[in-house]
Structure formats: structure tokens, C-alpha cells
Structure 1
Amino acid sequence: MSFINICRDNTDPFYRYKMPPIQSKTEGRGNGIKTAIVNLAEVARALNRPPSYLVKFFGYELGAQTQIDRFLVNGAHDTGELQDSLDGFINKFVLCGSCKNPETEISLKGKDTLERDCKACGKVTIIDPKHKLYSYIVKNPPDNKKGKKSATATANVVGGGKSISDIAAGHENEFSNGNGDENNDTENFDEDDDLLAKKIQAEAAQLQELKIKDDEWAVDMSQEAIAARARELEGINSNGINGSSTSLNKFDEFGEWLIKESDGNVSNLPNDVEIYKKIVEFELLESPEILQVLGQTLFDENILEEIEPHVGLLAKIINEDSNFEKSLLGGLERLIGIQYPSLISQIPKILHSFYDKDLLSEEIIINWGSKVSKKYVSKDVSKKVRKAAKPFIQWLQEAEVESDEDDE
């Protein structure tokens, strides 16, 4: 199914907030004719709003009676009319009043004040109380506890009373010795760690992960590695050997282009549109390994500040494909474990940021942390990286269990 921008006025080529277009069909005839919105549940889920709000809004806007349980609006209404009406709902009840980002939640303050809490910019804006739907929402406020992404549920805690916001903020945690030396404990992967790894692995097995062999090829996109491969190929060519086997592979060429364009400084990288066009030019858009390259070339030691500018590019390429997510984790593992080992202590913050921006899913992160792998880095480095990630992974698991209990 094709998707459309939640905010249809936004023409940004990397706008990452999508929803399925309205699908409707007409039922009955004469005075009993009705319009059924067949995919209203999926649209509501994309907007993070209860379906009943959308049905009631259509009724108010179109001057028609509705049946909330069956997603029906009395009368004959074509799809275009419903889609245009939905734009009004999005502008009034979804988009942030400050940054126009749809990543908001509706909350009821006091008895009759509705607010939009934006998770993107942090602003809280008042919803216009003039629309008829306002009163309906006040009487039927959303339950923001159920179905809420666990990364924003700061009320949940990790062992020792630490919330995920504490971990993301870098407060003292399980792998800190209390003296600010967070790296000290990452040197030893002891029996306790092994037990935790086994526990994580057992639980992750239920998620039916597609196993990846440790000996699969990984792309080393450090400047030193590219230079070494180039020197080697120059030596081969000087001996008179020609053909495609003597040229840098496409991943190397793309990585070399990025490094050359930025002069080795990520702050000088080409804009994301140019990078995307280059990926298409090299015909790498369908190759998960491209995320290994991007994971090692878009960021440096300031990765936490560099993620946001590239969210659109990464989201468009990943497109919720688990293989691409795994490849991105592999690139980050090389970046942190080999190029910038000083970042190991910040792995919980880094994973949290990628997760919160929907670039890495909960399932993929938990599976990645379930076992040490030498696919991208040495086994020792892999142990250190996953040990540092342990508090965040443990929190994800506990939040998942709590969510299951709430559903029950």
C-alpha cells in the first residue's frame, strides 16, 4: 500500500510521518445510504488517535450521523471529500501548534482543557475549544498509557529505580561504579552478564529473529580501511590486471565519495538529498549494507547531536525493514566499538535516540543485544558494546512485559 504525508502541505522529500490514504465504500441506497471508512483503524493508528475521534469529526464536519463501532457516516461521501475533511482533523487535533509536527498526544488538564503535548519540540499547546469534537474528547479523553511507545514512558523504571530518562540523561546506572568511571566495568564480561545474555536470548527467541551468521561480510568504512583497499588495488592495477575485480566495490566508492566530499569532517557532509541521489546513482538503495556505510560515515564523536539532521534520510532508506535496521546497528557497532570507543559509555543514550526517532525498533534492539557477535567487530569489542547497552535493553524488555500485562 502506498502512503501519504500526514501533513499533506509538507513537501519535504524526507518527511517521515506517513499514513494510509482514506479508503471508503458506499453501502445501502436511498435514505439509508451510508459511507463506510474501511481502513479507519489503520489511519487512526498512524495519527495516534482513537478511531472514535475521527468518526465523530467526520460527522460534525459533514453534518451527518455516525456509527462509531462500524466506522459509518450517513450519506454518500467520496474519498476525496473524506480525505480533505481529515486534513482539518489533523490540523486541529494532531499537528503541534508550534512546530507542526504530528508527534503529539492529547491530554486533559483540569476538567475541560485539552492540550497537545509535542514529543518532538517539547511544546504544549492548547487545542481550540470552538470545534464540536472538543466537547466529545473532554467527555472521552484518550488513555495515553495503553499503546504508548515505551521509550517515552518515563514512569517505567529499570532496576534500582532508574527511569529510561535517567539512562538517556547519563545518570549513574548499573555499569557505573559511582565514581564517574563508566568504562571500568565494561572490561569484564562476567558470569552475571552471561546469565543476563542467556535470559535476553531466551526471550528474544520468541520474536522469531532471522538468524545472521557471524561470518557474513561487513563493510569497514573507516578512512584507513578505504585507503588501504585503494592502495592494494593500485598495486594490482600497476601489474597490468584490469576488469571489474580491480575496482573498488560500490560501497567503498560511495563511502570514499562521502569522505572526500566532507574532507573527513561530518559537519561538511553533502545535504541528505544529494546523499540520497548518490545512493540511487550507485544502485545501493535496495542493499541493507548501505546502512553500514551510513552508520560509519554520517556520525562522529558528537553522534547524539548529529542524528536528528539525518532522520529523514535514514527513515526513507530503512522503511521499517528489519534487515536494514540490523545493518544500521552493525555500522554503529563499528563506529562506536572501533572508531570512537570513548562513546561506549553513551550507548544507552545513542540507542534511545535512534529508537525514539523510529529508526530502530524494540524487537531488533533486543535481538541484537541477545548474543555477542563477531560479524562486525571482534568478539571482545562486541561484548563491551552489548554490556554497555544492557540497561537500555533490560528496560525495553521490562517495559514490554508491563505492556503485555496492561493488554491482558
Structure 2
Amino acid sequence: MSAINVRRDVKDSFYRYKMPRLVAKVEGKGNGIKTVIPNMTDIARALSRPSSYPTKFFGCVLGAQTTCDDKNERYIVTGEHDAERLQTILDSFISKFVLCSSCQNPETDIIIKGNDIWMDCKACGARNMADMRHKLATYILKNPPAQAVKKQRRQHQELQDDDDMNGSDDDLITQRINKEAAGLKLESKLAQEGWSEDTSEAAVAQRMKELNVKSGSFGNGDDDDEEGENKYEQFGEWLEKEEAPSDEDIIAKAEELGVFGKYKSVQVLMQCIFDASVVAQIPKRTKLLRKFVKDDEKHQKAVLGGIERLVGNEYKDTLLKKMPNILMGLYEADIIGDDVFIKWGEKPSKRYVDKEVSKEIKKAAKPFLEWLENASEEEESD
């Protein structure tokens, strides 16, 4: 089995970080066809990650069911998938959940703090947040490495007891102990219940409900028909699945679905293209926002509504205290008018989030709103 660089973009044959080349074996026929990855355990060990993490990542990207049988070291993705395609997806997993974003070194450990996933680099000492927008982030939060280790030890002991009773040779036991020492972690209860990225109509509806872009989230409007709502759901689902889409790609998709220029598409956009790093991301997306957000109150309020959902429903612990910075970023980008900001901050609303959450958000935004009101009064005086 050939070894390749963990970072395949590095062509140096003396690059110290290696992993096995992914092997894919297609089994079954018709609706029962599936792709088995027989060396997933070895790959995961090289990356210092549980085998379930990259397996579930494949399911997220491909929209396929996955099965993780750690006891038998059998990892499956439903459907027929060739090794090169899976290897390319694995590159994306490595980029998002293994490499240090500061030094691009794979010597990182996953640390869970609150509702955030951090990658602690042993090479340069940096600690950077993982991509919290990706569906795998939810899985990792519910299945942190520490819990997986405890379960692995328990299951390993069960396996060892069974092997002792059945007279299995010592080599197998030694092999499993060595793998445990290497940091491999077994699947959690959620995975055993069949967690996956299902693409059925019901599953898509549930994911969009979690994203808060279902029809009931928008309120009434001039483009509020059922067919239109499905288009917004499709737009949100596409944004969630795409990896770093360009401004041109996003606009093209919105035009294709017929939602470009609609205020509801603005709310979906705000929730999907930003994450916990929204303060730094706004300047990079200013041109895109200016194309989506028309010069009217409805569109600009949709921007603030999307921010309320992003902060209140997804990154409250991280972003609540950064509300003044977020609003200042939108102000400096000239996306929202002064009067819209001030009107939005006058009282909490349950239009986008729970009323109590809205109250917290607008309280956190008070320093910016007071500054804006004073600046407006001075301008009028001049």
C-alpha cells in the first residue's frame, strides 16, 4: 500500500507527514451498492483523528449514508465512489479539520470549548477555530474526542475479554492495544444510531429547519408563495454544501433559482456564508452583499435578521459580545442605512429569533447604536 503526503499539494518526497493512499472497494449491486474503505483505520491513525470523522465527512459531502463499525474496522459509504474522488474529499477534510490554519502543519489536537471546535497546533503553538459551518462540526461537538477515547477503552476491554474466551492469538490483542495508543477513537452512540447526511426530502426539510430558513422563518412578504419557499430552501442547502463558493457562483445560483434580488435570499445568505469569524469575513464579502442588498428597508432589515439568527441560534457564546464590531463592519461596508440600524435597535422582536434572545442581541449592540445616534445628531447639527 503506497504512502502519500498528508498535504498532497506538497510535492517534496521527503515531506515528513505521510498517510496511506485511500483504497476504495465497491460491493453489492443496484440499490444495495456501497463503497468500503478497508484502510480507513490506518488513514485515521496517520491523521490522529477518529476513523468516524473522515467517514462522516464523506457522507456530508456526497449526501450519502455512512456506516462505522469500529469493532470490525469496517467503514462504508453508500453508493459507488471511486478512490480518487474520495481522496480529493479527504483532502478537504484534512484542510478543514486537521491542518493548522497558521502554519499548515497537521500536528494538531481537537479541543472542544463550549460550542466551538479549536485545533491546537503542537508545531507552532497556534490555536485556531475549525470550520463551524460544516455539518461535521455538529457531529464532532456531540462526539468529542475525549468521550470517544473512553468508549474505545471500554469496547477494547470487551473485545479483549472475548478474545481471551475464544482463545484468539496475542498478536491481535497487541495490535488493538497499539492502535488505541496511537489515538484511534471508536464511534459514539449517535453514530451507531445511523447519523448521516441523508438527502431525502424529509431530511432536507429537517436540516433547513435547523438552519432556520423554512417558510415560517421569513414572515409574510410579496414573494411568500410555496414554490418560492422551496427555492430559498434549495439556495440555503446549496450554500451549505458548497465549499467556499465564489461571489460569481453564488450570484449565478441565486439567478438560476430565481431568488436573486429577493429580500428573503439576503437572510439565507447571511446565515450561510458567515460563521464565528463574521467580523473578519464581512470586508471580504462586501461586494457580494452590495449586489444582493437593495437600497430599501426590507432588504437591509433582512441583513440584520440574518445576523440575529447567526448570532442567536448558532454562535451566541462567541459572537454576542462582538455585536458592535459586526454592526460596525456592515456600517463601514455601507450596506445598511443609519435609520434602519436605529429603528432595528429600538425594541426586541420575535420575528427572527426568540424575543429574549433578540433582547440580548440588541442590548449587546447598544454601544454601536448609541455611537451611531450621536454621530447622526452631530451631522444634523452641522
TM-score band, normalised by shorter chain: 0.3 to 0.5
TM-score, structure 1 length as denominator?
Answer: 0.39
The structure with the greater share of residues assigned to helix is 2
